[in-house]
């Protein structure tokens, strides 16, 4: 493939290597280092003049450092006269901060708004927080200002984040890989039920359920605050079925572990979890080890080697071929909509 260069940031070099192996290319030379005051310095080690440049950097690990490194790499290529710079961001950072929906507790000694009576206050004890940031929009602006001409990402937490950009954004889906894994690894998949651990993922699970021709259920949850679930209600019948929890990401895994317990209580025979982005921060791995999952399946948008060593239940689906095919099609000016419903061979 002429006039194309693929560079890797430090967040996920293994994924970048798999992508270039698939494309039959060599990774571009880049040196990343930190000064003693922890400033990031990036040096592109080869000419990119007139080239179609792709920079692979995922939103994982030291997210702020990795984001800054990506911005500097984009800018370095842009001012070195690259014809086009595409940021390949398998897991988009700050994607959960996409709207003003934070809540804050009302102090019991505060003056209550006139529309609040004691019953309302006792029931909710929360009011909208108008000072929450929309950080996903800020990240979009930063990428554009740095010089990115195009973004390739996977399973955005909210697909409307694409609208935060004034440049083209291709949001790939892990769904074809998930369907393939279910059919190959769950013998009773025809008697399964696809479950969303929250109402926001209903569209995702209905699409998978329709492709498998099975039923779906969802769990309604209320959060007291971030990373802390207050209550859960199961909507749907899972009795005597294999339940497959599907979500776009799992961080501390409190939600999916509570959901798994709820499903077993409701009569599910076995519970699997399939997640696009396995962040697994804090107590996540110990929670999964203690939970009742048959398997927790994630993609390698985020490095999973360490998680798989610490937890035998964690299994990984390789999605490098989807990103490689998206890069190939983008470079050649072909449509990538084929990848929304098919796994490249």
C-beta separation of 308 from 278 below 8 A? no
DSSP string, 306-327: HHHHH-TTEEEE--HHHHHHHH
Alpha helices in 80-159, H assignment, sequence order: 118-124, 135-146
Listed in sequence order, the residues at least 6 apart from 323 whose beta carbon sits closer than 8 Å to its beta carbon are 15, 19, 56, 88, 90, 152, 154, 172
In three-state secondary structure terms, 98 is coil
Please report, in tens digits, the pLDDT of each residue of the chain (345 residues total). 679 999 999 999 999 999 999 999 999 999 999 999 999 999 999 999 999 999 999 998 899 999 999 999 999 999 999 999 999 999 999 999 998 875 544 444 445 555 545 444 444 445 555 688 999 999 999 999 999 999 999 999 988 999 999 999 999 999 999 999 999 999 999 999 999 988 888 888 999 999 999 999 988 876 666 666 567 888 889 999 999 999 999 999 988 999 999 999 999 999 999 999 999 999 999 999 999 999 999 999 999 999 999 999 999 999 999 999 999 999 999 999 989 888 887
172-176-178 Cα angle (round to 5): 105
Render pLDDT for 90-108 as a digit per residue (tens, 0 to 9).
999 999 999 887 554 444 4
CA 90/CA 154 separation, integer angstroms: 5
53 phi and psi angles, rounded to 5 deg: -105, 135
* Integer Rg of the chain from CA: 22
280 φ/ψ angles, rounded to the nearest 5 degrees: 50, 60
Distance, CA of 94 to CA of 56 (rounded, Å): 17
**Contact at 8 Å (CB) between 243 and 236?**
no
Tens-digit pLDDT profile for residues 267-326? 999 999 999 999 999 999 999 999 999 999 999 999 999 999 999 999 999 999 999 999
Instruction: Output phi, psi for 27, to 5 deg.
Output: -65, 140
Q: CA-to-CA distance for 183 and 31, rounded, in angstroms?
A: 42
The secondary structure of the chain in percent helix, strand, coil, rounded to multiples of 5, reads 35, 25, 35
The dihedral region occupied by 70, where left means phi > 0, alpha psi between -120 and 50, and beta the remainder, is: alpha
DSSP 8-state assignment for residue 34 = E
Burial label for 343, CB within 10 Å (0-12, 13-18, 19+), is middle
Alpha helices by DSSP H, listed for 7-134, are 13-23, 63-79, 118-124
- CB-CB contact of 323 with 23 (8 Å): no
Is residue 296 within 8 Å of 277, Cβ to Cβ?
no
3-state secondary structure of 270: strand
Q: Which of 216, 221, 226, 224 is nearest to 200 (CA)?
A: 221
**What is the model's pTM?**
0.88
Instruction: For residues 103 and 159, give the distance between their C-alpha atoms in angstroms, rounded to a whole number.
Output: 23
Other C-beta atoms within 10 Å of 70: how many? 29
């Amino acid at each position: 493939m002429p006039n194309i260069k693929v560079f890797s940031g430090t967040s996920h070099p293994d994924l970048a290597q798999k992508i270039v192996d698939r494309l039959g290319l060599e990774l571009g030379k880049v040196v990343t280092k930190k000064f003693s005051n922890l400033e990031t310095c990036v040096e592109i080690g080869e000419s990119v003049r007139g080239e179609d440049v792709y920079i692979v950097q995922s939103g994982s690990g030291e997210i702020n450092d990795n984001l800054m490194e990506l911005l500097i790499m984009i800018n370095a290529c842009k001012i070195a006269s690259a014809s086009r710079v595409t940021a390949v961001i398998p897991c988009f950072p700050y994607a959960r901060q996409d709207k003003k929906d934070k809540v804050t507790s009302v102090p019991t000694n505060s003056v209550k708004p006139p529309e609040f009576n004691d019953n309302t206050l006792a029931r909710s004890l929360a009011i909208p927080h108008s000072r929450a940031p929309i950080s996903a929009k800020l990240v979009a602006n930063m990428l554009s200002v740095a010089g990115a001409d195009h973004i390739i990402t996977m399973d955005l937490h909210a697909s409307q984040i694409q609208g935060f950009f004034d440049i083209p954004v291709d949001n790939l889906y892990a769904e074809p890989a998930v369907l393939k894994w279910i059919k190959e690894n769950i013998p009773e998949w025809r008697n399964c039920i696809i479950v969303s651990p929250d109402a926001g993922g209903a569209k995702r699970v209905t699409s998978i359920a329709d492709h498998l021709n099975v039923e779906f259920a969802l769990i309604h949850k209320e959060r007291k605050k971030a990373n802390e679930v207050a209550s859960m209600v199961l909507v749907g019948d899972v009795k005597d079925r294999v339940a497959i929890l599907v979500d776009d990401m799992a961080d501390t895994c409190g939600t999916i572990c509570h959901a798994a317990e709820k499903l077993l209580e409701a009569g599910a025979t076995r519970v699997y979890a399939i997640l696009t982005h396995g962040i697994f921060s804090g107590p996540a791995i110990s929670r999964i080890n203690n939970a009742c999952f048959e398997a927790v399946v994630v993609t390698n948008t985020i490095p999973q080697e360490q998680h798989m060593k610490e937890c035998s239940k964690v299994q990984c689906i390789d999605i490098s071929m989807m990103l490689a095919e998206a890069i190939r099609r983008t470079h050649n000016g072909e449509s990538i909509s084929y990848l929304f419903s098919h796994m490249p061979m």
